């Protein structure tokens, strides 16, 4: 969605009254995430839909996979700047997928992709477990747009 509005205001503390000035602002996709290539690794169809909508609203280009094995394969084929990784998925969970990606990056002398855990696990120690698996950041579900934007704002420019 794109919204626009017009504000009319007069200068304060000016010697002579002046005509109101017009300011128009448009809010659309985030400049931070605009055009960012993101891989969403999520097995739940509802969470996929919500994640894609949130990412597209921020201006991201999104691909979706439904398990950790597919995440590793897609990462090898695509040029993603960030991966949003669910921790509990079939085939290969998010922790193991992150470890595998880090192993491959090291073996191939590649720059590390930013991996952000996106999970309902929000208990003490869960964030540390994600970081220990090689993930860079952590956002808990339900994911607030502000938290997602902040996490994606840490992605290095391409």
Which range is least confidently modeled, 8-17, 40-49, 53-62, 85-94? 8-17
Write the pLDDT tens digit of every residue in 91-139: 999 999 999 999 999 999 999 999 999 888 777 788 899 999 999 999 9
78/82: higher pLDDT:
82
Is residue 85 scored above 80 in pLDDT? yes
* pLDDT tens, residue by residue, 18-36: 544 443 333 444 455 678 9
Distance CA 40, CA 84 (A): 5
Q: What is the mean pLDDT of residues 37-47?
A: 96
Residue 65: pLDDT above 80? yes
| CA proximity to 99, closest of 130, 128, 66 | 130
What DSSP character marks residue 109? Answer: T
| pLDDT number for residue 20 | 45
The whole-number pLDDT of residue 124 equals: 79
- Give the angle subtended at the CA of 86 by the CAs of 49 and 79, to the nearest 5°: 80
């Amino acid at each position: 969605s794109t919204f626009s509005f017009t504000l009319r205001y007069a200068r304060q503390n000016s010697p002579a009254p002046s005509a109101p000035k017009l300011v128009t602002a448009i809010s659309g996709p985030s400049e931070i995430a605009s055009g960012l290539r993101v891989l969403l690794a999520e097995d739940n169809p509802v969470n996929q839909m919500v994640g894609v909508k949130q990412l597209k609203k921020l201006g991201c280009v999104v691909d979706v996979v439904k398990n950790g094995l597919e995440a590793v394969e897609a990462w090898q084929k695509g040029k993603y700047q960030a991966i949003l990784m669910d921790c509990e998925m079939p085939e290969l969970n998010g922790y193991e997928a992150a470890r595998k990606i880090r192993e491959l990056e090291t073996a191939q002398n590649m720059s590390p992709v930013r991996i952000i855990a996106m999970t309902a696990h929000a208990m003490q120690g869960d964030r540390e477990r994600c970081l220990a698996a090689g993930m860079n950041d952590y956002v808990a579900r339900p994911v607030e747009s502000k938290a997602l934007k902040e996490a994606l704002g840490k992605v290095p420019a391409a």
